[in-house]
Amino acid sequence: MNIDRWTRRITLLFAALTVLLSGCTTYVTTQVTAFSAWNGSDATRTYAFTRPKDQQNNLELSAYERIVANELAVHSFREVAHDDARYLVELAYGIRSDIVTVAEPVYYNPWPGPYWGRPFDPWGPWGPFPATYVNQSYPVFTHLLGIRITERASGKEVYNVTARNFGGESSLVRTMPYLARSALTDFPLGNGAVHTVKIPLDSHGAAANEVSLPAVASGTAPGTASGTASGTASGAKVGQ
């Protein structure tokens, strides 16, 4: 078995554990990878979104562009008309589902009745009998956002960042604010940078300062759209 297959299995196992522990999770954890040739200044951070012709009327993509636009504004980017922009910003996104099977212990107590506990029963509530294991399957979802920034005049790519997280959330719409904020945390990252961003949840399970989404229809099936991503984003924690 090759290393990539082992890596995928380990990743899915950790994702499954995340699903199992989701009731007490207080952060959304996202892995971010960036490639950069950035040398821009705040005075020149004008941009416009770009997308291929077959995505011009994509409402889902429009919603995600608004989320990314809010995060870009944190880093002094200003959206302008296409022909006035120094940079073009293109998005790619998707969601993939997997099923992860985890062996969970099941205990059998042959002695019904009240359990008095130690020191009266040295074996504990299940007696001296070992646990048996039952396989339980759980859905795990991988959410992805890519942000690509190019210079409009030259077409040169100057920044390309990918944000990816895993969990039991089946909606890409609900995870997009976390992906966008994570992708642009500490912009601009160095070339080849890989780090982990943790965004806290509020008491209602939403990201702190989470942006509002337009009312658009979005399923959980995989979707992608081509179109063209200083300081730390609010509420985000970064780990190398």
What is the maximal distance between C-alpha atoms in the chain? 82
Residue 6: its pLDDT value, please? 47
129 by DSSP, 3-state: which? coil
Tell the residue number behind the tokens 């130690």, with chain if given. Answer: 118
Average pLDDT in the chain: 76
Q: Which residue has the higher pLDDT, 53 or 230?
A: 53
Residue 99: its pLDDT value, please? 79
| Omega cis (within 30) before 114 | no
Alpha carbons 150 and 38: distance in angstroms, whole number: 10
Residue 132: its pLDDT value, please? 78
The residue-averaged pLDDT of 176-199 equals 96
Q: Does position 34 have pLDDT exceeding 60, yes or no? A: yes
Query: How many CB atoms sit inside 10 A of residue 18's CB?
Result: 18
Query: How many CB atoms sit inside 10 A of residue 23's CB?
Result: 6
Span 118-147, pLDDT tens digits:
555 555 555 556 667 888 888 889 999 999
Long-range CB contacts for residues 151-154, cutoff 8 Å, separation at least 24 = 151/86, 151/87, 151/88, 152/48, 152/82, 152/85, 152/86, 152/87, 152/88, 153/86
H or E segment at 118? Answer: none
Q: Does position 203 have pLDDT exceeding 60, yes or no? A: no
Residue 100: its pLDDT value, please? 74
Residue 158: closest CA among 33, 39, 77: 39
Alpha carbons 182 and 170: distance in angstroms, whole number: 19
Q: Which amino acid is at 96?
A: R
Q: What is the DSSP letter of 53?
A: G
Specify burial of residue 180 (Cβ count, 10 A radius: 0-12, 13-18, 19+).
buried
**Domains in the chain: ranges and CATH:** 28-101+145-239 (3.30.160)
Alpha carbons 2 and 49: distance in angstroms, whole number: 40
134 by DSSP, 3-state: which? strand
Confidence of residue 104 (pLDDT cuts 50, 70, 90): confident
Residue 129: its pLDDT value, please? 61
